[in-house]
Amino acid sequence: MVAGGLFELFGPLILAQPQVSLQPITSGLQAPVFLTHAGDGSGRMFIVEQGGRIRIVRDGQLLPQPYLDLSGKIEFGGEKGLLGLAFHPRFPETRRFFVNYTTRAGGQLKTIVAEYASSTTNPDLAETGERILLEIDQPFDNHNGGHLAFGQDGYFFIATGDGGAGGDPLGNAQNLGSLLGKILRLDVDSGSPYGIPPDNPFTATPGARPEIWAYGLRNPWRFSFDRTTGRMFGGDVGQSAREEVDIIVRGGNYGWNVTEGTACYPPSISSCARTGLVEPIADYGRNEGSSVTGGFVYRGRAARHLLSGSYIFGDFGSGTIWRLTEGEGGQWQREQLLQSGFNISSFGEDEQGELYVVDYSGSVRQLRTNSHLRQGSRRIRSSVRPRVR
């Protein structure tokens, strides 16, 4: 039994598991950290390079000219750089898209969330004019979060880390007066520079930032919305012991730095105040990985008979790819799909819902079925469900 007895490990057990492999799509990228699509029917995939460029794969070819190059204005290195990209739900009409990057001004490191527009004459190029929506001071160089996405409700979600160092020394994640260590939710179609959705959970809480949707996160690295259910899944990178996967809900407190995954933090203490905390649907220790990379619920067609409805995620350090499947009573089961051998910086989804694995060393591969793949796996059963206790 590990993590306070919340997870049981059954194995090694040879199972009739999904048979998957990774098919090369493109290479020659520089520190890629995300892949997405514009939702415009073009079939193009947009790849974020941490150094500041957005690249396009069109008809299977990596275009030589970047869609947008921000390398001259960002601060890149370690966990800093160009970290997020999201296209407006009505991108074909509005031409609007949004980026998240780090920069330094007057000696102060900042996270910038800004709006750009696609060119009116060349759809494979963006205009260079920038409109800044949000500027957040970063006290340390790490834990910058950076993910951006639109929910099915049309609102704009932003992931922020706790501000860095170790153990959240400034207490940002539990502080509703800080935008750090949070999931934020904005209305980018109203207000100046944005509006606050009226059903955000802390709009009437004294001293709280109204942008906050959920809190108590350390360094959320990639979240996504299930195309079918609309549920929001995310991976939150741990400190030194546990990596976790969460279902993000309105007003949820995910525990950092009171808990790390299902364990109390710091690890030297045996009990902590868990009242009101939302538990992860899965977590794992450093024997399995060192930096969780959140993924997607698979809703594509190529592997639908094997993976449909499964949440696919991985780990940057170990290169392992797992799936989570939901059973009766909201219990989640974790199963290893494969060892990729890559530093998985992100997963990505195309217009059809097919999934891609982004390798930080410079390549992208598609997750595919492979009838010839034969390997055992270890199955993990969890009694944890996303609930407030």
Q: In Å, what is the CA distance from 328 to each residue of 43, 238, 332?
A: 37, 28, 9
Q: Quick check: is 372 in a domain?
A: no
Is 12 inside a domain boundary? no
Among all chains, which residue has been given the structure tokens 């549920």? 231
Q: How far apart are CA 369 and CA 18, in angstroms?
A: 8
In a domain? residue 90? yes
Q: Indicate if the pLDDT at residue 225 is higher than 50.
A: yes
**Cα–Cα distance, 86 to 38 (Å, whole number):** 8
Burial 219-248 (b: 16+ CB within 10 A, else e): bbbbbbbbeeeebbbbbbbbbebbbbbbbb
Q: What is the pLDDT of residue 19?
A: 84
Specify the number of domains making up the chain: 1
Report whether pLDDT(72) > 60: yes
Model pTM score? 0.92
Q: Tokens 């990209």 identify what position?
A: 85
| Contact (Cβ atoms closer than 8 angstroms) between residue 209 and residue 215 | no
Q: What is the pLDDT of residues 143-172, one digit of tens each?
A: 999 999 999 999 999 999 999 999 999 999
Higher per-residue pLDDT: 292 or 19: 292
Q: What is the mean pLDDT of residues 366-373?
A: 72
pLDDT band at 371 (very low <50, low <70, confident <90, very high): low
Give Cβ neighbours of residue 64 (< 8 Å, ≥ 6 apart).
none
Contact predicate 252/388, CB 8 Å? yes
Tokens matching residue 251: 């007003």
- Tokens matching residue 173: 């994640």
Is position 13 within any domain? no
Q: Is residue 335 part of a domain?
A: no
Residue 85: inside a domain? yes
For residue 380, tell me if it sits in a domain.
no
Domain that holds residue 193: 25-310+345-367
For position 135, which CATH number holds? 2.120.10.30
Does the residue 159 lie in any domain?
yes
**pLDDT of 388 over the 80 cut:** no
